[in-house]
Structures are given as structure tokens and as C-alpha cells.
Structure 1
Amino acid sequence: MIRRLTALFAGLWLYGFSMAMMIRAAVGLDPWDVFHQGVTRQVPMSFGTVTALTGVVVLLAWIPLRQWPGVGTVSNVVLVAVSVDVGLSIIPEWESIPVRLSAMVLAVVLNALASVLYIGAGLGPGPRDGLMTGLVRRTGWSIRLVRTALELSVLTTGWLLGGSVGIGTVIYAVAIGPLIQLMVPLVAGRLPGFDTAPETETAAEVPGRIGHDDGPVRSNV
């Protein structure tokens, strides 16, 4: 349990810090924040209020997916917010475009690693990642496909509503799903969150998952 809690809190802290890096990079919001910003331009609500209400709606979408919240879901709300504020207080604003683009790429990689750690802890994902894992389990699609489809759908809706889109947004939307799937083996056999993969996925999509013909190798989605 200590290992799982350590992975949970480290992952959530790193997730918030990576969000702060994206903000400082200033080359485009991640898809969910593009959506939040787009909604604020259509209704008289603050960014924080829209973010919170979106989280509630997403949690309601868990019900038909039979996805249930846990300690990680609650911790997500608190720890990520604190980590973002701390990150913004210590990360400088960069002027150089190459530096900002490099920071955005690094932030996406760290965001993927953070997601693998806190989802891998198996103590309950955040609202949006829980939607992803629920859809993976119910549809039999890969993490790569589900995550990318969700990010692109949210991005498109946010853009149509007036949210800000940049090159960093595209980098995040296209890369986050494949990166998460690539990093899942890092926690294989060490954390339980990715131990069960949908039965309909193929070995090519899910290297090392339970259910291979050669035996129960723990892990990957």
C-alpha cells in the first residue's frame, strides 16, 4: 500500500507540475482547458467553476461505465491544484520560442508519466482519466485509441466554442495517448492499476498484458 500511495501522490504532484509547465510554455492549452476556456466564453461562469462542473458531469458519465471513484479521485482534485500553483510560482516565463516548445514537449512527457503513476496506483483515477479507463474496459479499445479520441473530441468542441488552440495543444492531443501506452510497462508487475486489459484487445496493441497465450504477464493496456 505504501508503494501505491507513493505512486499516487507523486503522480498527482507531477501531473499538476506538468500543467504549470504547459501554462508557462504559452504555446497552447491542453484540450480539456481549451474546452473549459471555450465554455467560459459562452456562459457567465469563471474558469474554475466550469472546470469543476465539467468534472461533475464527467463523473456522472462513469455510472454507465461502472467506474467508481476512490481516494485517488478525491486526492486528484486537491493535490493537482496545489501542485499547479507551486509550479507556477517557481517556473519562470520563457521568452525564447525554442525553449517554450521544448518545455511543452517535456511537459507532455511528464504528464503521461504522471498519468501512468497515479492510475497505476489503482486507488481511483481523476474524473477525466477515469472516463478513459472506463471506456477502455467497456469497449475493448486500446488506451492509445480511447485517449486520443477523447482529447481530439474535447479539443474540437472547445475550439468551436472559442477556446485558444496552439501548436502545444496539437502536440498534447496527438502524443498523450501513445505516450501513456508506451510508459505502462514501467509499472507492470509493480502497481495494479493496469493489470487487467480488455479481452478484445490484441497482443500487438497491448504488449505484455494478461491473457497472452504464453501466460499471465502482468500489465499493459
Structure 2
Amino acid sequence: MEKTRQTPSARRILGMVVGVIIIGLGIALFKQSHLGNDSISALNMRLAELLGISLGAMNIGINVLFFVVEFWFGRKYIGLGTFVNGLGMGYIVTAFYDPIAAAFGPAEALGLPVQLLWMAVAVPVTALGVSLYQTADLGVAPYDYLSLGLRDHTPFPYFGCRVFTDALCALLCWLLGGLVGLGTLLCAFCLGPFIQFFDGRFSRKVLQYQPDKE
């Protein structure tokens, strides 16, 4: 039986918006490290470079395509957070990255230890944002729906579906000459424990809400 949707509280809405902003900061920090981003962000960045458009515009274009799939097969996953994330993320990343890059310069010019430091900060920052966003339970971003949709309509578990979508985006990024590196691997396999930590220690307490498990 499908659960009855609760009217979202102002606390959950604010938590979702703050979570999206923090995710944008985390992606900008990964980009500053120049060691690789999460696979869909890396692909969007490369496509934006090739097409000569802004990351924000590229992000919206890709999410519109994915949203068609989500709308057709997974409407129960659509909510306010779907649109805040899908429409705003690229612009949020740019708003953080441009001043960071201007203030600190290219991290790769300072050597691997500095790049690793940027990435070490990016991991918990991104995980905190994802934790707030997911705990608010106000909809799933179009790209994130793809792995959920595969899980719902195939016999494969969520983890395998997520690895498949992330690996496919990473492969496309690499084939197009984009940056796939250590940060990409960390996003795919290491964010989970940090997200779980923030779920229990921070997000559920702050938002005073715990999403139902399917």
C-alpha cells in the first residue's frame, strides 16, 4: 500500500533547500580539487564545456530529459525537492566554485596534498547536504530516480542499479574527454557511511522527521 503523503513542514522544506545548497558547495569543492566529481556532475561539466554553455543550463537540460522518465514511471518520487535540485543545482555549484577558484587558484598547481585536502573537505560537506536533502523526503532529483526506477522495475537491488547508472555516466564522461578520478570513486563508494552518520546524528534530529522505509 502506498503511504499517505504528509503535508511538509516549514522545517523540512528549509532543510531540503539548505541540503541542496550544501550539496552544491560539496560539488564545487570536489571540482576545486581537480580529482574528479560525482559521475553525473562530471558528465554535465564536460558537456557544458563541449557545448559552450553554463553548467546551470546544462544541468537543467539533462534533468528535463531525466524528468520525463521520472514523470512517466515514478511519479510517486516527484516533489518540491525534485525541482529545487533539478533546476538549481548547476547554478549553485557555479555560485560557489567561481569565488573559490578565484580566491585559491587551481589546486592542481599546488600539488596532490592540497588536492587531497580539498577532497577531504568535500566528502563530509557533500554527505551532510545529501543527508538533509534525503531526510526531508520531499522528492527525488531526476537523475537519482533512474537507479530507483531500475530497482522498482528490474530484479536488481538498488546498490547495483546505482553503481550501473554512476558507472555509465562516468564512462560517458571519460569517453568525452572529461575528468574521472579519485573523487568520482569516493562519491560512488564512500559517501554512504558519511550520509548514514549524518542521518542519525544530525538530520533526523534537526528536521524532527524520519522518512518511511519502503
Is the shorter-chain TM-score for this pair beyond 0.5, marking a shared fold?
A: yes
State the percentage of identical aligned residues: 26
Aligned-pair CA distance for 1:111 = 1.4
Alignment of 1:37-48 (within 5 A): 37-39=45-47, 44=51, 46=53, 48=55
Matched-pair contact (CA < 8 Å) for 2:124–2:194: yes
Q: Which residue of 2 aligns with 1:73?
A: 82
Q: Which residue of 2 aligns with 1:218?
A: none
Match of 1:46, as an amino acid?
I
Aligned-pair CA distance for 1:168 = 2.0
Q: Which residue of 1 aligns with 2:60?
A: 52
Runs of 4+ that moved beyond 6 A? none
Match of 1:131, as an amino acid?
L
Deviates more, 1:128-137 or 1:146-155: 128-137
1:135/1:118 CA distance change after superposition, 3 Å: farther
**Secondary structure of 1:164 counterpart:** coil
**Secondary structure of 2:92 counterpart:** helix
Residue in structure 1 matching 2:213, options 177, 196, 204: 196
TM-score relative to the length of structure 1: 0.71
1:79/1:35 CA distance change after superposition, 3 Å: closer
Q: Which residue of 2 aligns with 1:17?
A: 25
Aligned-pair CA distance for 1:79 = 4.5
TM-score relative to the length of structure 2: 0.73
RMSD over aligned CA atoms reads 3.1
Residue in structure 2 matching 1:128, options 139, 143, 156: 143
User: Which whole-Å CA distance do the structure 2 matches of 1:34 and 1:11 have between them?
Assistant: 20
Number of residue-to-residue matches in the alignment: 195
1:102 aligns with 2:117: yes
Q: Which residue of 1 aligns with 2:6?
A: none
Aligned-pair CA distance for 1:11 = 0.4
Alignment of 1:96-175 (within 5 A): 96-136=111-151, 144-175=159-190
User: Which whole-Å CA distance do the structure 2 matches of 1:31 and 1:110 have between them?
Assistant: 17
User: Which whole-Å CA distance do the structure 2 matches of 1:161 and 1:79 have between them?
Assistant: 24
Task: Give CA deviations for 1:109-140 in whole Å, capped at 9, x if unaligned.
Answer: 32122112112212122222233444455558
Aligned-pair CA distance for 1:31 = 0.9
Aligned-pair CA distance for 1:57 = 1.5
User: Which whole-Å CA distance do the structure 2 matches of 1:179 and 1:61 have between them?
Assistant: 29
Any unmatched runs of 5+ in structure 2?
Answer: 1-8
Aligned-pair CA distance for 1:160 = 2.1
1:84 aligns with 2:102: no
Match of 2:104, as an amino acid?
P
Q: Which residue of 1 aligns with 2:36?
A: 28
Aligned-pair CA distance for 1:74 = 2.0
Report which of the two has the higher share of helix. Answer: 2
